[in-house]
Structure 1
Amino acid sequence: MKRIVCMICGCWLFVAGFAQPVALTISKDKTTSLIFPFAIRHVDRGTKDVLVQQVQEADNILLVKAATEGFTETNLSVVTDDGSVYSFVVNFENKPSVWVYNLPANKKQTVATYANGILDNPATMHGIKDRSRGITVHVSGIYIKENVIYYQVQLINDSPIDYDIELLRFYIRDKKKSKRTAAQEYELKPLHVSGNISIVKARSRNTIVVALEKFTVPDAKYLAIQVMEKNGGRHLLMRVNNRKIVQAIPLPDLR
């Protein structure tokens, strides 16, 4: 489990992660502010000893105060628009040392939210595809947000036989190899994959979105996207050059 790393500067608390609940101390006479990276969708209090109020002018800020002094330890949960859940262990303190908590975005959850949102996007890119015995795969879109690049891949099964996916692999490979040396490969590990990567039913299609750390490809190399069939021979391989990668569409901020 990841540790929570905190840095206190004046009365501000920056929390670098929230794999476990954040310790929150509140008082009855002063208000504590929780600032989230996205709009607040839902708030749940463990007990009525904790008073909460959302700021109408800023839907990502939650004001917290104690209803009674010396209450028994309780909890507070907040769900934001990107699907992240923030958990707090709440205790009473007459004079808390921190009045403003600035919560970071949950990177993994944010990446998943973007990937899921891309699944139903219409195709924005053409020309990157491969076919084998009734199975077609093509890259229908490439998107970018900060340090994450998203590949929208569509698999089409026009055959009467289900296509069971054994492997979906992204790697960078040399365009040419010397007879004396083996081709150099560098595999890229996905940050997140959305969509059905197990099977493409007969006469149907699947869309998959794969999130990877941002990268570009040198002129002497290409990005290979490989799809292999389980217990079959309908294997597919697409080559993506840097000219296509740099055409990635920027994604807007989540609201």
Structure 2
Amino acid sequence: MKNLKYLLSYCLMLFSLLMEAQTLNLVKKDSNAITTSANQKKVLTFKEHNIKGSYPVSVAFYKTTHIVFDAPIKYFDAGSNRIICDRVEGVDNLLKLKAAQIGIFETNVTVITHDGKYYSFLVSYNESPNKLNITMAAGLNDAFEQKFSDRPEKIIFADTYYTETEMIHFSKKMIELSKGRHTIQHIADKVGNVQFKLIQLATKEGKIIVCINMKNSSPLDYSLEYMKFYVRDKTKRKKEVSQEIELKPDFVYVEQEGVADRRKLGDAGASFNVVFMMPKFSIGKDKHFEIDIVEKDGSRNMNLKVDYETFYYQMNKL
């Protein structure tokens, strides 16, 4: 009987130890799960096609290396002051690299473009680089292949952020809009049988787009000296200095109306749509957006005034 009591006590103790071990194991598993969950919350997920491999680039002291991207550069950083790394002034998708000192070194450069791509470059010194002009073409290195493209890429100018193909697309879309029921009708100027008419206004991500129709129904060609754009005071009081701001287009697109033989802008008997894309601007109630049109060696000069109401209430969004 005594032996049986010891046996039962031993079994209970063994059972208790087994239960405690199981409980500790469960707690450990839960703790790991919590830790894993917490770590997952801190991890940033990058899509593979947006991350580009590390490209080897050589730089020299007496030569400059240029890298052309297929989108504007949003951010860039050099890992060392041994190299000069900067965007080219006036161009948003071109990066220049140059050694700041002569001597063997290695560092890195990171670039992020506006279309969300992340580039990494391993930069080393070499006074005779194999490539001085490098193009990072669209869609390149999706499989992390470390090679460069020899395909030429278009330069994207500062404050434009669009390629030439994109701007032509927007221009054609503007012309299509002008054929609809929302065409502006009341802003025009005419001398003889030559007429300039504002037919469409639009905005597109930081840009103002203006579409003008030019029609020459006279027997004389109209040679355009210039078309200039201004924001001017609506009225000018006596003894008061008039203020004006000149606006310069980033891009101009000309399309002849109809399917007749090809003419140049202003030719007699021809009609054209001209699209101007310029940096975004605004006007106050006391201002006009004006377009001056001047004939070369002639006097058929015109002026288009866009009032506050037309500028804001008849402007479309592309």
Q: Establish whether residue 139 from structure 1 lines up as the match of residue 139 from structure 2.
A: no
In structure 1, what is the Cα distance between the partners aligned to 2:187 and 2:167?
20
Letter in 2 for 1:63: A
SS of 1:116's equivalent in the other structure is helix
In structure 2, what is the Cα distance between the partners aligned to 1:111 and 1:210?
15
TM-score (norm 2): 0.50
Quick check: which one's strand share is greater? 1
Q: Does the Cα contact within 8 Å between 2:214 and 2:266 map onto a contact in 1?
A: yes
Letter in 1 for 2:192: R
Instruction: Report the counterpart of residue 188 of structure 2 in structure 1.
Output: 129
Deviations 1:32-63 (A, max 9, x none): xx98839xxxxxxx9xxxxxxx9xxxx79833
In structure 2, what is the Cα distance between the partners aligned to 1:206 and 1:249?
21
Residues 201 and 122 of structure 1, relative CA distance in 2, 3 Å threshold: farther
Structure 1: gaps (5+ residues): 10-14, 24-33, 39-45, 47-53, 67-73, 87-103
Matches within 5 A, 1:1-255: 6-7=76-77, 17-19=92-94, 37=115, 62-66=142-146, 75-77=148-150, 85=154, 108=160, 110=162, 112-117=164-169, 118-119=171-172, 120-123=175-178, 124-195=183-254, 199-246=265-312, 247-251=314-318
Residues 75 and 107 of structure 1, relative CA distance in 2, 3 Å threshold: farther
RMSD over equivalenced CA pairs, Å: 4.2
Greater RCO, 1 or 2 (C-alpha within 8 Å, sep 6+): 1
In structure 1, what is the Cα distance between the partners aligned to 2:295 and 2:212?
16
How far did residue 19 of structure 1 move?
A: 2.7
Letter in 1 for 2:94: A
Letter in 1 for 2:200: G
Structure 2: gaps (5+ residues): 1-63, 68-72, 80-85, 99-111, 117-129, 131-137, 256-263
In structure 2, what is the Cα distance between the partners aligned to 1:174 and 1:147?
23
TM-score (norm 1): 0.62
Larger-gyration structure (1/2) = 2
Instruction: Report the counterpart of residue 92 of structure 1 in structure 2.
Output: none
How far did residue 243 of structure 1 move?
A: 1.7
Quick check: which one's helix share is greater? 2
Identity of aligned residues (%): 22
Residues 230 and 239 of structure 1, relative CA distance in 2, 3 Å threshold: same
In structure 2, what is the Cα distance between the partners aligned to 1:142 and 1:60?
37
In structure 2, what is the Cα distance between the partners aligned to 1:154 and 1:209?
9
Q: Does the Cα contact within 8 Å between 1:142 and 1:152 map onto a contact in 2?
A: yes
